[in-house]
Structure 1
Amino acid sequence: MRITINNRQIETLEGETLLEAARREGISIPSICYAKGAKHISSCMVCAVKNCQNGQIIPSCTTLPTEGMCIDTESEEVQRVRTLSLELLLSDHRADCEAPCVLVCPKGLDIERMLGYYDEGDLGRAYSVLSEAFDLPTLGCDGCKAPCEKVCRRGTVDKGVEIRAIIRSIVEKAPKEMAGTDSDVRPDKQGFISKLGRFSAEEKAYLKENVKGASRCLHCACGGRSKCLLRACATGAGIKRSRYDATSNMPAGHKIHVVGNLWFEPAKCVRCGLCVYNTENGFTFRNRGFGMEVLIPEENKNNVDEQIARLCPTGALYVKAHERKED
């Protein structure tokens, strides 16, 4: 079957969608709710294209081509629809892509990762993270006004993390040989950065009661940020800040242990449905419309495999080896 995309004629294969045909021909179309080989429905409209024959904006991830179809993927109209769709998704996504303390550190120290090792009692790896930013044993915090402590989200719950004191403790007590770290995820200050917003009174009470690690750090940075399609698409669209405030009513910071090393953060979920449609007696929807949410019933958890995290486009589902159980 022959169709035209951006004034270029291509032959489509039987059963493939417009999105699949375009990508096979090297034509880039972003998407959130689509994953190759996975069951899905069109729910995000980030993959929107225009049917030039009737002027309709259609989702390319579920639309099958017809003979002679003429498609536009590049016009300003199409880009506006995609940007609007992304901003609406972002309004349903309450998360910090990067920890605020990391973003403001003048030395570029990955504070959140360092505190993660500190909370696990692994001072060797915490020391190794410090060595990435400082010429140890000399500390780069001397004379610093500690913007990291001023923006610490824990400070909005009760009292901020005493980051400088913890750094001094690590330098004094840690073995001085480099232990190496087991993460290749590093802060990205150049791309789109989602921001959580304010905690509600209920969220503050929950976090105060449930987050009690050695450092008391909330570990704000998203565990799935390195593979987050929502962030990648927002960056590609040039979105710096969504026009819409986050409206999700899911509790921020609430982490649900699913099975093994698989974790679920409902506040980051944009309800694309990939985890629902690709697990049997696993994740499910509750309610409809704006009140719809994704949940994992306790009795269904053992039916879920960690590999489902690969389908999640927002980091709401992620695999992390050393997450502390809270639910």
Structure 2
Amino acid sequence: MQIEINNIQVKIEDGETIIEACRRIGLDIPSLCWSKNAVHKSSCMVCAVRNLTNGQIIPSCTTLPTEGMHIDTESDEVKGVRKMSLDLLLSDHRADCEAPCSLVCPEGLDVEAMLNSYDKDNLEDALGLIKHAFQLPVLACDTCKAPCEKACRRRNVDTAVSIRQIIKEITEMFDASEVKEVENAVIEKKMFQSKLGRFTDGEKQRLKETVSSKSSCLHCACDGRSGCSLRQYAGDYQIKRPRYNMGSAMPVMTKENIKGQLWFEQAKCIRCGLCVYNSNNGFTFKDRGFGMEVILPEENKSNVPEGIESLCPTGALYLNVD
């Protein structure tokens, strides 16, 4: 069988879908609800293409070609459908890709990573991060107007983290010359930045009662941001910020340990279903329509297979190796 893709004649292999044919010939068709060799159902429409034979917009991840089909993957209209689909998914995705405090630090300090080391009493690592950003013994914080504290998410709950005071406390504990510099992880300031949105009164109360780290930091940077396809495609399609108001009712910053180092954050889930369809009596859907959720009953946790996090297109399902 042969079809035409962007005016190129392509021979279709047995059982091959349109997205597979496109990727085989080097066309990078995006998709969030599809993964090669995994069980899936079309839901995100980020892989949309147009069938020029009848004018229909179709999901390329589940559509099998028919003889003589003409497919368009590159027109502005097709890209517009994909971008709208991404915008809709982002309206249900509550997460900070990078911590706001780290994004605004004029010295490039990964503030959230430093506070994470501080809260775990890894004080030499915390100082190593500070040493990488600052020309110690000089502290840039002494003359800084503290944009990190102004951007701090904790400020929306009660009081901002005393970041400058913590930095000063750490630097006074050691002789910096004896501590190894720790290179900051790259903070992708130019990449798309998802946002948590406003905390509800109930969320503020819950965070006030449950977040009791030494620094009081909420640690809002996404632990699953590395390799997040949603973030990548949002950047590829030049989405600067979510187009639609936040529509998710999922409780923000709730982390559920599944087993071992595997964690699940429901507020980041876009309900693609990959974890549901690829775990036998593990993850499941609850309710329908806009209120549908992906949940994991306690008794099903042992059924979740190893490596399931590799299918997740967002930071909802991830390994925390700290």
Q: TM-score, normalised by structure 2?
A: 0.96
- For residues 118-157 of structure 1, what are the structure 2 equivalents within 5 Å? 118-157=118-157
Contact preservation (8 Å) 2:109, 2:184? no
Which residue identity lines up with residue 293 of structure 2 in the other structure?
E
Deviations 1:180-215 (A, max 9, x none): 76x985321111111111100111111111111111
Contact preservation (8 Å) 2:108, 2:133? yes
Contact preservation (8 Å) 1:124, 1:175? no
Deviation at 1:175, TM superposition (A): 6.6
1: CA distance, partners of 2:86 / 2:222: 18
Deviation at 1:129, TM superposition (A): 1.3
Instruction: Report the 3-state secondary structure (helix = DSSP H, G, I; strand = E; otherwise coil) of the residue aligned with 1:230.
Output: helix
Query: Residue 102 of structure 1 aligns with which residue?
Result: 102
Deviation at 1:271, TM superposition (A): 0.2
2: CA distance, partners of 1:27 / 1:287: 36
1: CA distance, partners of 2:174 / 2:90: 40
Query: Residue 159 of structure 1 aligns with which residue?
Result: 159
Deviation at 1:289, TM superposition (A): 0.6
1:222 aligns with 2:218: no
Contact preservation (8 Å) 1:253, 1:267? yes
- For residues 303-318 of structure 1, what are the structure 2 equivalents within 5 Å? 303-318=303-318
Instruction: Report the 3-state secondary structure (helix = DSSP H, G, I; strand = E; otherwise coil) of the residue aligned with 2:226.
Output: helix
**Which ranges of structure 2 fall in alignment gaps of 5 or more residues?**
none
Query: Residue 57 of structure 1 aligns with which residue?
Result: 57
1:273 aligns with 2:284: no
Contact preservation (8 Å) 1:123, 1:174? no
- For residues 84-99 of structure 1, what are the structure 2 equivalents within 5 Å? 84-99=84-99
Deviation at 1:242, TM superposition (A): 2.0
Count of aligned pairs: 321
Instruction: Report the 3-state secondary structure (helix = DSSP H, G, I; strand = E; otherwise coil) of the residue aligned with 1:142.
Output: helix
Instruction: Report the 3-state secondary structure (helix = DSSP H, G, I; strand = E; otherwise coil) of the residue aligned with 2:78.
Output: helix
Query: Residue 320 of structure 1 aligns with which residue?
Result: 320
1:36 aligns with 2:36: yes
2: CA distance, partners of 1:121 / 1:167: 13
Contact preservation (8 Å) 2:131, 2:181? no
Query: Residue 262 of structure 1 aligns with which residue?
Result: 262
Query: Residue 210 of structure 1 aligns with which residue?
Result: 210
1: CA distance, partners of 2:319 / 2:92: 22
| RMSD, aligned α-carbons | 1.5
Instruction: Report the 3-state secondary structure (helix = DSSP H, G, I; strand = E; otherwise coil) of the residue aligned with 1:13.
Output: coil
Deviation at 1:299, TM superposition (A): 1.1
Query: Residue 325 of structure 1 aligns with which residue?
Result: none
Contact preservation (8 Å) 2:129, 2:184? no
Deviation at 1:139, TM superposition (A): 1.4
1:180 to 1:142, Cα distance in 2 relative to 1, 3 A: closer
1: CA distance, partners of 2:160 / 2:219: 12
Deviation at 1:61, TM superposition (A): 0.6
1:185 to 1:107, Cα distance in 2 relative to 1, 3 A: closer
2: CA distance, partners of 1:180 / 1:293: 44
Which residue identity lines up with residue 284 of structure 1 in the other structure?
T
Instruction: Report the 3-state secondary structure (helix = DSSP H, G, I; strand = E; otherwise coil) of the residue aligned with 2:58.
Output: strand
Contact preservation (8 Å) 2:3, 2:66? yes
- For residues 182-261 of structure 1, what are the structure 2 equivalents within 5 Å? 185-261=185-261
2: CA distance, partners of 1:193 / 1:306: 29
2: CA distance, partners of 1:131 / 1:47: 45
Deviation at 1:138, TM superposition (A): 2.1
1:72 aligns with 2:72: yes
2: CA distance, partners of 1:263 / 1:240: 28
2: CA distance, partners of 1:124 / 1:244: 43
2: CA distance, partners of 1:241 / 1:272: 21
Which residue identity lines up with residue 255 of structure 1 in the other structure?
K
Which residue identity lines up with residue 299 of structure 1 in the other structure?
E
Deviation at 1:19, TM superposition (A): 0.4
Q: TM-score, normalised by structure 1?
A: 0.95
How high is the sequence identity, in percent, across the aligned residues?
A: 60
1:171 to 1:305, Cα distance in 2 relative to 1, 3 A: farther
Deviation at 1:132, TM superposition (A): 2.1
Query: Residue 173 of structure 1 aligns with which residue?
Result: 173
Instruction: Report the 3-state secondary structure (helix = DSSP H, G, I; strand = E; otherwise coil) of the residue aligned with 1:71.
Output: strand
Query: Residue 48 of structure 2 aligns with which residue?
Result: 48
Deviations 1:214-269 (A, max 9, x none): 11111111111121100100100011012201110001111111110111111110
2: CA distance, partners of 1:175 / 1:4: 67
**Which ranges of structure 1 fall in alignment gaps of 5 or more residues?**
323-327
1:277 to 1:215, Cα distance in 2 relative to 1, 3 A: same
2: CA distance, partners of 1:11 / 1:221: 45
